[in-house]
Amino acid sequence: MTRIYISLGSNIDRERHIRAGLDALHRLLGPLQVSRVFESEAVGFNGRPFYNLVVGADTGLALNDLCQQLRALEFAHGREPDAKKFAPRTLDLDLLLYGNLVCDAPLVLPRGEIVTNAFVLWPLAELAPTLRHPLHGETMAALWAGYDKASQRLTPIPFDWTPSGVLADTRA
């Protein structure tokens, strides 16, 4: 099993799509470690604010299979196949870390957004404060402590999620 971290984001019908994305990831991966949900401004384009969070899970899926499954989940939840990188999203799922793997294909890992976007780093640092970045060597907590927090406005919001059909809460 490999420990993975995935960021989720939505700025179209945010609450519905984040809940649907969490349910879909729970069905695909099993138990999820779920960060708080944060509201953030759109980065890279003018758009409505996003809801963002990070989940951790263990998977036996190979990297290529996991990437295909995440892409299929985005499409199943309304993402257009030809959607621009910086555009509104129903559901955006980005694999941040796949264990300690460092690679350039089928995608770049670790994901660069870990150290550049508050909406990725803050929730990841909450979930895995002692986890070391595979390239930088610093813990997520240390990276967050050194982050310029004035550069991106980020607000935790009340958001409770329990997997569909499951009574126990799996939040971290």
> Does residue 111 lie within any of the structural domains?
yes
Residue 41's pLDDT is 84
| pLDDT bucket at 28, cuts 50 / 70 / 90 | very high
> Does residue 90 lie within any of the structural domains?
yes
Q: Decide if pLDDT at 27 tops 50.
A: yes
> Does residue 93 lie within any of the structural domains?
yes
Break the chain down into helix, strand, coil percent, rounded to 5: 30, 25, 50
CA quadruple 101, 64, 83, 17: dihedral sign: negative
pLDDT, tens digit, for every residue of 97-156?
999 999 999 999 999 999 999 999 999 999 999 999 999 999 999 999 999 999 888 999
Q: From residue 150, how far is each of 56, 90, 138 by CA, in Å? A: 26, 27, 21
d(CA 52, CA 49): 10
CATH of residue 119's domain is 3.30.70.560
Residue 167's pLDDT is 44
> Does residue 33 lie within any of the structural domains?
yes
Question: Could you tell me where the DSSP H helices lie in 10-138?
Answer: 14-29, 63-76, 113-116, 118-127
What's the domain range around 118? 2-157
> Does residue 37 lie within any of the structural domains?
yes
Q: Taking a C-beta distance cutoff of 8 angstroms, is the pair 115, 134 a contact?
A: no
Structural domains of the chain, count: 1
Q: Which residues are tagged catalytic?
A: 79, 89, 92, 94
> Does residue 166 lie within any of the structural domains?
no
48 closest CA partner among 76, 96, 94, 15: 15
> Does residue 13 lie within any of the structural domains?
yes
Q: What's this model's pTM, rounded to 2 decimal places? A: 0.91
> Does residue 172 lie within any of the structural domains?
no
d(CA 136, CA 157): 30
